[in-house]
Structure 1
Amino acid sequence: MTSAQLLRKIRDHQSLNTKEQRSLIWSLSWPAIMAQISTTIMQLIDMGMVGRLGTNASAAIGLVTSTTWLVNGVSNGVTFGFSVQTSQAIGARDYRKAASLCRQGLLAVGICSIPLAILMASLSFQIPVLLGGEPVVLKDSGLYLLVYSLTIPFYMLNTLAMNMLQSTGDTKVPGIAQVMMCLLDVSFNALFIFKLNLGVMGAALGTSSSVICVSLFLTGWIFIKNEFLKQKAPWRFHSHSVRSAFRIGGPISIEQFITGTAYIAMTRIVSSLGTLSIAAHSFAITAESLCYMPAFGFASAASALIGQCIGANRIELSRQIAWRITRLTVLMMSVCGAFMFIFSRQLIAMLSLDPEVIAIGSNLLKMEAFAEPLYGASIAIIGILRGKGDTLWPACLNFISIWGVRITLSWLLSIPYGLYGVWMAMVFELNVRGILFLFRQRKAFPPKQTSSAI
């Protein structure tokens, strides 16, 4: 039975047995996982190609990476505020409302992204200075951030289009599109970095060009091919939808702001340790992200599935699926953690030729491997709670965990242990975060005493 048929069973209030639930979870998760991995590979390509230009070039990108994550994360509140409502509307079989929510999301992206792009572009050369970058990397960091800033509307459009399609249960097209983006990124990077000799700025131009192409493709797919979202609907805001978008998306933006500013604070701590530490830290973060992308894939599927279950008032089914996704994520992330531990040196060597960077980065990945299972659980649970419309608690828990544990410990441990101390703090915090989110899921979806196996 196809995923579309299984999703229809949710909307039609038909029962799904354990095998059908597993099948539905995997059918929606694997394209989302491939999409996330492709996005990370794109970052690896950028870092790897730029790494061939030297440690300073790598540090220039690494210095502002946390800033781009902050902007992308905060803007996610706009997209999720409407996509979560869309999945619930589809679950309730109100397809015209779903199409209307999609159009409201597009209007919101247009209104929010352009001023944000102008603001970030105006600050692009000041931010690297504020982050404590060494003079040798400031110009390249500023140029990279400037190109990224001017492309923010397309980054937001790409995220919205992906979330909207996934909310309908279509994870394959966004997954294929992100693979396309990865391939385009390779081609554009080869052109801009090496053929036109634009260096670090060329990496930004390559990534931005691929994002523009794919975001326009996905938007076109929404209006031409998607059976739910292509339906006729007015291009105007509805007060109830906007209020709900603020209620759902506001805490998500706050949560991402908390996380993003924490990454910037960590970058500030790491930058005080020197260019070598910045490069090793940046490469290790990028390599690690390849390993935890499966959790984000499960989270994307969870938001769509739980959203449709809640919209269809299938409370017991939402509980079963929520815990099944969590167990599968922990299992997958345990495997990924083992992979990262075993191949830590090879992962860093793909990104840098510097022996010192490779040695330090591989040690950091070995440490981080022990945080992956519970970190994966927290990622999946955030997706589960978003589908339910519960976005305030994740913001609170992230604040407690990241600022109360990670930043405090990073600052304290960086003094005697340097970069290794920062990563010790991160490993400890990610495990704490996973436990906190498991408690929250237990409150939101109380498990039965006799829960079924994975």
Structure 2
Amino acid sequence: MKKSLLMDVIEGKNLSFAQKNKLIIQLSLPTIFAQISTIIMEYIDASMVGRLGANDSASIGLVSSTIWLLTGLSSSFNAGFTVLMTHCIGANEKKEARNIMKQGFLVCLTLSVIVSIVSIVLSPILPVWLKGNVEIIKNASNYLKIYSFFIPFHCMNVMASFCLQASGNMKIPSIFNILMCLLNVILNYYFIFPAGLNMGVKGASLATGLSIVFCMICLLFFIFYKSEILSFQKKERISWDLITIKRAFQIGFPVTIESALTSLSYIVFTRIVAPLGTLSIAANSFAITAESLCYMPAYGIANAATTIIGQTLGARREDMTISFAYIITFFTVIMMSFSGCLLYFFSQEMIQVLTPDIEVQNIAVSILKIEAFAEPLYGASIVCAGIFRGAKDTLSSTRFNFISMWLVRLPLAYIMSLQYGLKGAWISMCLELCFRGSLFLFRLFRKTWLSYGLIIKIN
């Protein structure tokens, strides 16, 4: 049914309100489940390491924002290629979509290898620059170095998932990502604890990396041999098209800059928090993990939004594009409002799963209750970014994230942390997320983002 509804859009047929909602749900649910499973994996990861003590938890928390920068940077390379793919598929140009995909894989692999090498070289230096305590620097460096080796595999895994999603197949990436999470739990137990290899923090990083490799292999096999739209076709050779690569970089470069600026802001935020002590670093890390269970489903909907918006614009269905954009945004805000309520009332239970340390629990719970109020507008910013990306409007998201993160959150966090500690830093985060969501909603309702998808056309 999902396939036929997408084909109805491509063929110019109208969908009822109920059919639009059904299509959104069908495309969103698999990615939501995949995002939730990823967060559960992080929960289990953090919980297992948390059993080793506050120092080991803090060592991972210290470099987590750096890892987000590296993985986000390498993963963002694929954005331009996958957006172009959605438009080609929407225009029923499947051969061109496959050629764009092949070029994207090779370009992204090359760039991610460079990121990996740079990260490995810098891994002994970064924990010191982040002002980590002496007792956690060594473990933080080891965790970062091991994870950095797997960055190219992570990039290929994300690229494969996005390619399948661009073709309208949300189910397969979700299934393999869930399997990746289950494998990570098993490997964690074996690599971290004395019953297995007793590698501690290094074992946690290695287990995550090997799980990513497994998922990547499965997804690539499905794409090249099983996918109806993307699989290898006889006599089809890769055709290097510099115009297509240029367009992909025009679309993807703002996403890369956005990812870098956002992740760098997380690193600076961690640096602001680090002088507050080991307990604050650990509480900050656990609170971020706990909150992600609430907002990551919005990223799943955003992925579905990119596919729907890209294919409707590729089919030149402007009226349907606007309708889908509004319905998706409304649905996300309602869902995130509910998530915010859960975060506020069950923050204690969520943190207890992650750490047995009472002091860390108390600090983390207090800041989560603050953050709960930002969830609806945070969700709006996430899904609007997915909508704009589907329309090839990636620059506006970069602008909004830069303004809100660097001109609002970080200055406020620094000032308020001096007076109110970690709570002050998280109050600034809450205010910034509300401001960011308002910016995205303003642009959504102005509809200027539509022009990007309608003007730029692949020849």
Provide the TM-score with structure 2 as the length reference.
0.96
1:394 equivalent in alignment to 2:397:
yes
Cα-to-partner distance string for 1:313-355 (whole Å, 9 max, x where unaligned): 0111000000100000000000111111111001111110100
Aligned to 2:219: 218
Output the CA distance in 1 between the equivalents of 2:50 and 2:163. Answer: 35
Verify the 8 A CA contact 2:74 2:151 in the aligned structure 1.
no
Output the CA distance in 1 between the equivalents of 2:267 and 2:420. Answer: 20
1:313 equivalent in alignment to 2:316:
yes
Same amino acid, percent of matched pairs: 46
Verify the 8 A CA contact 1:36 1:294 in the aligned structure 2.
yes
Find the partner of 2:339 among 313, 336, 341: 336
1:367 equivalent in alignment to 2:374:
no
Aligned to 2:197: 196
Mapping 1:55-70, distance limit 5 Å: 55-70=54-69
Verify the 8 A CA contact 1:262 1:403 in the aligned structure 2.
yes
Aligned to 1:383: 386
1:428 equivalent in alignment to 2:438:
no
Cα-to-partner distance string for 1:107-132 (whole Å, 9 max, x where unaligned): 11221111211111111111111111
1:91 equivalent in alignment to 2:98:
no
Aligned to 2:76: 77
Cα-to-partner distance string for 1:240-274 (whole Å, 9 max, x where unaligned): 21011111100000111110010000000000111
Verify the 8 A CA contact 1:181 1:210 in the aligned structure 2.
yes
Verify the 8 A CA contact 2:74 2:115 in the aligned structure 1.
no
Output the CA distance in 1 between the equivalents of 2:301 and 2:282. Answer: 30
Output the CA distance in 2 between the equivalents of 1:418 and 1:368. Answer: 15
Q: Which amino acid aligns with 2:52?
A: L
Q: Which amino acid aligns with 1:251?
A: P
Q: Which amino acid aligns with 2:222?
A: W
Aligned to 1:10: 9
Aligned to 1:300: 303
Verify the 8 A CA contact 1:251 1:395 in the aligned structure 2.
yes
RMSD: 1.1
Verify the 8 A CA contact 1:319 1:445 in the aligned structure 2.
no
Q: Which amino acid aligns with 1:199?
A: G
Cα-to-partner distance string for 1:288-336 (whole Å, 9 max, x where unaligned): 0011011101100000000001111011100000010000000000011
1:284 equivalent in alignment to 2:267:
no
Verify the 8 A CA contact 1:192 1:203 in the aligned structure 2.
yes
Aligned to 2:103: 104
Output the CA distance in 2 between the equivalents of 1:236 and 1:197. Answer: 49
Verify the 8 A CA contact 1:284 1:361 in the aligned structure 2.
yes
Output the CA distance in 1 between the equivalents of 2:73 and 2:206. Answer: 22
Verify the 8 A CA contact 2:283 2:361 in the aligned structure 1.
yes
1:54 equivalent in alignment to 2:57:
no
Verify the 8 A CA contact 1:319 1:446 in the aligned structure 2.
no
Cα-to-partner distance string for 1:73-130 (whole Å, 9 max, x where unaligned): 2223211110000011000000001111111111112211112111111111111111
Q: Provide the secondary structure at the position in 1 that maps to 2:175.
A: helix
Aligned to 1:135: 134
Q: Provide the secondary structure at the position in 1 that maps to 2:78.
A: helix
Output the CA distance in 2 between the equivalents of 1:196 and 1:441. Answer: 51
Mapping 1:255-266, distance limit 5 Å: 255-266=258-269
Output the CA distance in 2 between the equivalents of 1:136 and 1:396. Answer: 39
Q: Provide the secondary structure at the position in 2 that maps to 1:350.
A: helix
Verify the 8 A CA contact 1:51 1:352 in the aligned structure 2.
yes
Verify the 8 A CA contact 1:322 1:445 in the aligned structure 2.
no
Output the CA distance in 2 between the equivalents of 1:177 and 1:303. Answer: 21
Q: Which amino acid aligns with 1:96?
A: K
Output the CA distance in 2 between the equivalents of 1:210 and 1:7. Answer: 32
Q: Which amino acid aligns with 1:283?
A: F
Q: Provide the secondary structure at the position in 1 that maps to 2:354.
A: coil
Q: Provide the secondary structure at the position in 2 that maps to 1:418.
A: helix
Q: Provide the secondary structure at the position in 1 that maps to 2:414.
A: helix
Verify the 8 A CA contact 1:96 1:231 in the aligned structure 2.
no
Aligned to 2:455: none
Number of aligned residues: 446
Q: Report the Cα offset of residue 8 of structure 1.
A: 0.5
Q: Report the Cα offset of residue 42 of structure 1.
A: 1.4
Aligned to 1:452: none
Find the partner of 2:444 among 421, 436, 441: 441
Find the partner of 2:243 among 217, 237, 240: 240
Change (3 A) 1:412 1:231: same
Output the CA distance in 2 between the equivalents of 1:272 and 1:69. Answer: 21
Cα-to-partner distance string for 1:211-262 (whole Å, 9 max, x where unaligned): 0000111011101111111143423431121011111100000111110010
Output the CA distance in 2 between the equivalents of 1:155 and 1:27. Answer: 26
Output the CA distance in 2 between the equivalents of 1:224 and 1:7. Answer: 22
Output the CA distance in 1 between the equivalents of 2:155 and 2:199. Answer: 26
1:180 equivalent in alignment to 2:183:
no
Output the CA distance in 1 between the equivalents of 2:353 and 2:201. Answer: 18
Output the CA distance in 2 between the equivalents of 1:426 and 1:221. Answer: 40
Aligned to 1:408: 411
Output the CA distance in 1 between the equivalents of 2:446 and 2:391. Answer: 13
Q: Which runs of 5+ in 2 are unaligned?
A: 451-459
Output the CA distance in 1 between the equivalents of 2:265 and 2:364. Answer: 21
Q: Report the Cα offset of residue 133 of structure 1.
A: 0.5
